[in-house]
Structure 1
Amino acid sequence: MTQELYIGVMSGTSMDGVDTALVSINGDQIQLLAHDDYPIPDSLKQRLLNVCTGQQTTLVEIGELDHLLGHLFADAVNTLLTQSGYRADQIRAIGNHGQTVYHQPLGDAPFTLQIGDANIVAAKTGIDTVADFRRKDMALGGQGAPLVPAFHKTLFQSSDSSVVVLNIGGIANISVIRPNQNVLGFDTGPGNMLMDAWCERHTGQKFDRNGDFARQGKVNQELLNDLLSEPYLAQPAPKSTGRELFNLAWLDNRITNRALSAQDVQRTLCEFTAVTIASEVGRFKTGPSPLLLVCGGGTRNLLLMARLSALLGDWQVAPTSDYGVDSDYMEAMAFAWLAQRRIHGLPSNLPEVTGASRPASLGVLYFA
């Protein structure tokens, strides 16, 4: 297989920007050549949050958001090309995840919905675009998520000890790579989502920089126990979740009639994220030197990283950047890789992770 260039586009549950990553792929050799974080206008983000948090919406609203996001993603790609000096005709394809507005993997009618019209992306960039990655896996009985563990398996190998790759975005998810065993992966629960929302409500800041707001408070054990009683946390894998479960309304229902400072709630939310992650990661310890590699926005929350290190005392905890993969652009790189797999008809899901009945090449190709 010869070297090809791909661009991955990722807008996660935190909606803190559109990450774009231009990568070179040659077999299992994957190199990040350029990247950018393209802003989402506040007005558009608010409209998306209204939909994602279960407020009543209309087909017109969904259609307009689909259109606007198509242009936003295309503009993000074109900006990356301009900044990096690469041309559209050098890029084999774009892998565009889209913006998840609802994810319901269980029940009588499982579905997931990512919007951001890939026709617009392909037309406006002049680059073939792969999108709609999750629904083929769901059609095969899977959860449609998480999809990144297959990419982590390509990047990181374990020799004699466990390697767990933790992505802390809005939701936290792990990929478990152990010697001579299948890769496992699932959403552990909230990552930054609740902390971001609570922080913005009480400080006006979109996230808790370095965990400084949380440091002003103390863990409220009664609230923490209540948060930890959420049934999702006890479900066996495969499992995936999102903003439709973990949101401010979910949190407010558990704070009612409790006299707590905003800082104490923030500190408890940070502990909640740390404990739910650590309790799952700890189950997969194998070998003398288990390694937890962390990527995503949560790596910049120094309090959260410190709590993970403390709760996982037997593990080495480090950002993926220390191991050659930019921790901010891991997921965007993953969708560039998923696009490459689709272009070449190669399987890109892991049935042992998602629960799908068989491997499949995920995504739909939209020609430029």
Structure 2
Amino acid sequence: MRVIGLISGTSIDGIDAALVEIEGAGYAITVHYVDGLTYPYPTDLKQQITQVCAGHPLAMADLATLDDAIAHEFVQAAQALMAQAGSTDLVASHGQTVFHRPVEPGNRLGYSVQLGRGAAIARQVNCPVVSDFRRADLEAGGEGAPLVPIVDLCLLSHAQQRRCVQNIGGIGNVTYLPPWPQRQAIPPKVLGWDTGPGNSLIDIAMTTLSEGTLTYDRDGTWASQGTACLDLVQQWLKHPYFAQPPPKSTGRELFGWSFFNQCFPMAQQRGLSPTDLVATLTEFTAAAIAQEYLTFLPDQPDAILVGGGGSRNPVLMDRLQAYCPDCPVMSTDVVGLSASYKEAIAFAVLGFWHWQRFPGNLPTVTGATLPVVLGHLNYP
């Protein structure tokens, strides 16, 4: 089956689209990456999404318009990829997360909102579309995130190595993969959770400090010119989220504008330059990931494989390596899985599994009470 996976993550830097060919069933699948592209949001739409994620109020009529506008851009991304790489049998669309509330004490279910409704995409691309992937896990008492670890298990596990697969998008999340020799039918116990900030705080700092002319730290250029304030890093690492044991998930609601608005005055009081602040936030991201490993992993990994936009930031990768000196830190590109389109590929697989009615969540990761089939199938 040829499947297109679509996702725009918490960085809101565009829609990643990946076309893959998948064969097999359940865990016994082979996935061949065909082609991918990143389709940028129009500037005004990106700004509106960013404002909603930051908590700006929105009338219901405006929310409906925004939902349709995002769906239209997802259609454009899918059609651009099909024009480039050929037709598809199925589209799997994660959509654009604009709100995420983890499970809370008192038996309160988690809540997560992804805009870009699948029915509108299916109608316009004239192809079945699987969407709304998080709902079934949430309804089963899970966090609804992270959902990619089960795909990491199939595509990146190793017969002898313990591996951490670290995604660094807007938010960071880790998959811990014990060795899986001989690929038995029963996989090992996989762990996974959101490690905290990924690129979100760095991106916000770049947007703020450059007065909107830059939206991310390309090649870690600003961070490489600054000096990190380690006292601030240690202070930020005392945030209660880092003491909370997995399963856990987070988003821009916690590590977004509100957190940055607390960090910025602290940096100004210490006389940090703009590049110093970006260096400090980069250091914080790497330190948070390493601290999560030391605190919650049963064993330290033999290798760390990094995907997402953070894998293209050499300063962030170097700082993560410095915090994890005993195992190599490398891009998933090194082991044959596109770091740039890893998340889009993962949702293509989750869409394929929905088609097969194969459960796509891992209760050990999300905290759900049982494995469930993820997503809702929309026909054109």
TM-score above 0.5, yes or no: yes
Structure 2 counterpart of 1:228, one-letter code: L
Choose which of 5, 9, 16 in structure 1 pairs with 2:6. 9
Pair 1:92-2:92 in alignment: no
Pair 1:208-2:217 in alignment: yes
Structure 1 counterpart of 2:45, one-letter code: L
Shift of 1:216: 1.9
- Looking at structure 2, the residues matched to 207 and 255 of structure 1 have their Cα atoms a distance apart, in angstroms, of 17
Give the equivalent residue in structure 1 for 2:147: 147
Shift of 1:256: 2.5
- Looking at structure 2, the residues matched to 304 and 321 of structure 1 have their Cα atoms a distance apart, in angstroms, of 17
- Looking at structure 2, the residues matched to 158 and 263 of structure 1 have their Cα atoms a distance apart, in angstroms, of 39
Give the equivalent residue in structure 2 for 1:237: 246
Pair 1:169-2:176 in alignment: no
The 8 Å contact of residues 51 and 101 in structure 1, kept in 2 or not, is answered as yes
Shift of 1:6: 0.6
- Looking at structure 1, the residues matched to 23 and 150 of structure 2 have their Cα atoms a distance apart, in angstroms, of 16
Distance 1:162 1:253, change over 3 A: same
- Looking at structure 1, the residues matched to 83 and 154 of structure 2 have their Cα atoms a distance apart, in angstroms, of 29
Helix, strand or coil: the match of 2:283? helix
Pair 1:264-2:276 in alignment: yes
Structure 1 counterpart of 2:6, one-letter code: V
- Looking at structure 2, the residues matched to 218 and 70 of structure 1 have their Cα atoms a distance apart, in angstroms, of 41
Helix, strand or coil: the match of 1:98? strand
Identify which range, 152-161 or 350-359, moves more after superposition: 152-161
Give the equivalent residue in structure 2 for 1:19: 16
- Looking at structure 2, the residues matched to 109 and 156 of structure 1 have their Cα atoms a distance apart, in angstroms, of 31
Distance 1:106 1:261, change over 3 A: same
Q: Deviations 1:20-63 (Å, cap 9, x if unpaired)?
A: 01100002100111111111111000000111011122112211
Percent identical: 40
- Looking at structure 1, the residues matched to 22 and 78 of structure 2 have their Cα atoms a distance apart, in angstroms, of 18
- Looking at structure 2, the residues matched to 322 and 363 of structure 1 have their Cα atoms a distance apart, in angstroms, of 31
After superposition, residues 1-368 of structure 1 pair within 5 angstroms as 4-27=1-24, 28-84=29-85, 86-87=86-87, 91-107=88-104, 108=108, 110-179=110-179, 181-203=188-210, 204-256=213-265, 258=269, 259-282=271-294, 284=297, 286=299, 290-368=302-380
Helix, strand or coil: the match of 2:173? strand
- Looking at structure 1, the residues matched to 234 and 256 of structure 2 have their Cα atoms a distance apart, in angstroms, of 17
Q: Deviations 1:309-353 (Å, cap 9, x if unpaired)?
A: 111111111111110111000000011100000011001100000
Shift of 1:226: 2.2
The 8 Å contact of residues 161 and 290 in structure 1, kept in 2 or not, is answered as yes
- Looking at structure 1, the residues matched to 352 and 202 of structure 2 have their Cα atoms a distance apart, in angstroms, of 35
Aligned positions, number: 360
Runs of 5+ unmatched residues, structure 1 = none
- Give 4+ residue runs of structure 1 displaced > 6 Å after superposition: none
- Looking at structure 2, the residues matched to 228 and 174 of structure 1 have their Cα atoms a distance apart, in angstroms, of 17
The 8 Å contact of residues 309 and 316 in structure 1, kept in 2 or not, is answered as yes
Helix, strand or coil: the match of 1:142? coil
Structure 1 counterpart of 2:132, one-letter code: D
Shift of 1:281: 3.0
Structure 2 counterpart of 1:279, one-letter code: Q
- Looking at structure 2, the residues matched to 117 and 140 of structure 1 have their Cα atoms a distance apart, in angstroms, of 22
- Looking at structure 1, the residues matched to 139 and 208 of structure 2 have their Cα atoms a distance apart, in angstroms, of 38
- Looking at structure 2, the residues matched to 296 and 60 of structure 1 have their Cα atoms a distance apart, in angstroms, of 33
Helix, strand or coil: the match of 2:74? helix
Runs of 5+ unmatched residues, structure 2 = 181-187
Distance 1:226 1:76, change over 3 A: same
Question: TM-score, normalised to structure 2's length?
Answer: 0.92
- Looking at structure 2, the residues matched to 149 and 294 of structure 1 have their Cα atoms a distance apart, in angstroms, of 13
The 8 Å contact of residues 205 and 260 in structure 2, kept in 1 or not, is answered as no
Question: TM-score, normalised to structure 1's length?
Answer: 0.95
Helix, strand or coil: the match of 2:20? strand
- Looking at structure 2, the residues matched to 25 and 17 of structure 1 have their Cα atoms a distance apart, in angstroms, of 25
